[in-house]
Amino acid sequence: MVVIGDKPVGDGHPAYIIAEVGINHNGDVALAKKMIAAAWENGADAVKIQTFITRKFLHPSHPGYQYDIDAEIPHEKEQELWDFAKQEGINLFSTPEEFTSLSFIEKQDPLLIKIAAMDFNYEELVRRAASLKKPIILSSGMSTLEEVLSAVRWVSEAGNRNSIVLHCVSCYPTPVEACNLRAIQTLKHVLDCPVGFSDHTVGLHIPIAAVALGANVIEKHFTLDHALPGPDQKASMDPQQLRTLVDSVRELEKAMGDGVKRPAPVEREPRQFKRRGIYAADDLPIGSRLDRDRVLFFAPSHTGSNVTNWPSMKGRILVRAISKMEPVTLADVE
């Protein structure tokens, strides 16, 4: 279990839902504030952005270089987002893409931090982020199980015991056949930390299924308008979808139960009326011996008159007369 602020994250606790604004704001600080506020208002446990200086982590030949340049919010402007979140009581955190941005994030004193899938194998950055001793989310997109184990070990060796690993497929949007949700269960089996799912599919059914498979954290991109430019908009959820996701996950968690197979409290009445009792097939005088052809197994059952009582009643003698179609109970035989 990992505790983020006052919320425990792990098995037996509600799934922690993260709205990933990322760079869906396209560099517009005012739009970013609206997105952060809308995500928080619609039930997110945390809202995430990305903090970066493009020229310090992308080569100019990278296909996403110009988009990141256009979507980049300088640190002095991004400070407005952090100040806004603190003023509104919003749990904002970020992904650093290079060390200058990591130092900037450190000054904001967030409740948690995240390493992106692109840096999952970047030991120096992982160790430096882990040294902040904040709960750290590791997105395992594009990674092997061996790489997952290495990243978690780096965090631990940095003195940080608060890792959360997200299963992730780094494709935007992700086709459903690529999701491999059973990897969540594999990771939960081999790791001693919470495991979640960073979702890049279109729609909400896949992350809900991930919770049913045991995901402790759900992260999904968030936008105010799917028509905005940018590679993440299509796989993002809007405010109404976020509210639906949160409500659906909370209902699912209630529905999961404790795993003990037993009648639910709401089945007590149906258990009596939908199960079969034992009834006289004809008028039976006192002293009659109960044979199979003298009884009928009809619903509803009654106390002491259930089809499962028949083996202990068969062949016994009636101690009172019973009219046709009257229940025969254990108290009626000797």
Query: Are 226 and 236 a contacting pair, CB within 8 Å?
Result: yes
Query: Are 59 and 65 a contacting pair, CB within 8 Å?
Result: yes
Residue where a domain terminates, one of 256, 277, 295: 256
Q: CATH number of the domain that 189 lies in?
A: 3.20.20.70
Angle at 208 between CA 14 and CA 197, to 5 degrees: 75
Amino acid at position 6, single letter: D
pTM: 0.91
Same structural domain for residues 198 and 328? no
Check residue 200 and give its pLDDT: 97
Name the DSSP letter for residue 45.
S
Q: CATH number of the domain that 300 lies in?
A: 3.90.1210.10
pLDDT (mean) for 120-128: 98
Same structural domain for residues 167 and 66? yes
Q: What is the pLDDT of residues 85-116, one digit of tens each?
A: 999 999 999 999 999 999 999 999 999 999 99
Check residue 64 and give its pLDDT: 94
Same structural domain for residues 113 and 170? yes
Same structural domain for residues 111 and 241? yes
Can you give the residue range of the structural domain that contains 308? Answer: 265-332
Q: How many domains are contained in the chain?
A: 2
Q: What is the pLDDT of residues 53-95, one digit of tens each?
A: 999 999 999 999 999 999 999 999 999 999 999 999 999 999 9
Same structural domain for residues 232 and 283? no
Amino acid at position 189, single letter: H
Same structural domain for residues 273 and 216? no
Q: DSSP letter string over 234-282? A: TT-B-HHHHHHHHHHHHHHHHHH--S--S--GGGHHHHHHSS-EEEESS
Q: Is residue 304 part of a domain?
A: yes
SS3 35: helix
SS3 332: helix
Mean pLDDT over each residue of the chain, to the nearest integer: 97
Q: Is residue 317 part of a domain?
A: yes
Same structural domain for residues 59 and 164? yes
Same structural domain for residues 213 and 314? no
**Measuring CA to CA, which residue among 233, 239, 94, 237 is closest to residue 172?**
233
What residues have CB less than 8 Å from 74, skipping those under 6 apart? none
Q: Is residue 192 part of a domain?
A: yes
Same structural domain for residues 193 and 298? no
Per-residue tokens: 247: 């409500």
Check residue 256 and give its pLDDT: 95
Residue where a domain terminates, one of 206, 223, 256: 256
Residue where a domain terminates, one of 203, 237, 256: 256
pLDDT (mean) for 196-203: 97
Q: Is residue 3 part of a domain?
A: no
Confidence class of residue 267 from pLDDT cuts 50, 70 and 90? very high
Q: Is residue 2 part of a domain?
A: no
Q: DSSP letter string over 165-221? A: EEEE---SSPPGGG--THHHHHHHHH-SS-EEEEE-SSSSHHHHHHHHTT-SEEEEE
Per-residue tokens: 119: 């840096």
Same structural domain for residues 201 and 170? yes
Same structural domain for residues 167 and 246? yes
Q: Is residue 160 part of a domain?
A: yes
pLDDT (mean) for 275-291: 98
Q: Is residue 1 part of a domain?
A: no
Query: Are 279 and 309 a contacting pair, CB within 8 Å?
Result: no
Rounded Cα distance between 22 and 237, Å, is 12
Same structural domain for residues 189 and 296? no
Rounded Cα distance between 214 and 182, Å, is 10
Q: Is residue 270 part of a domain?
A: yes
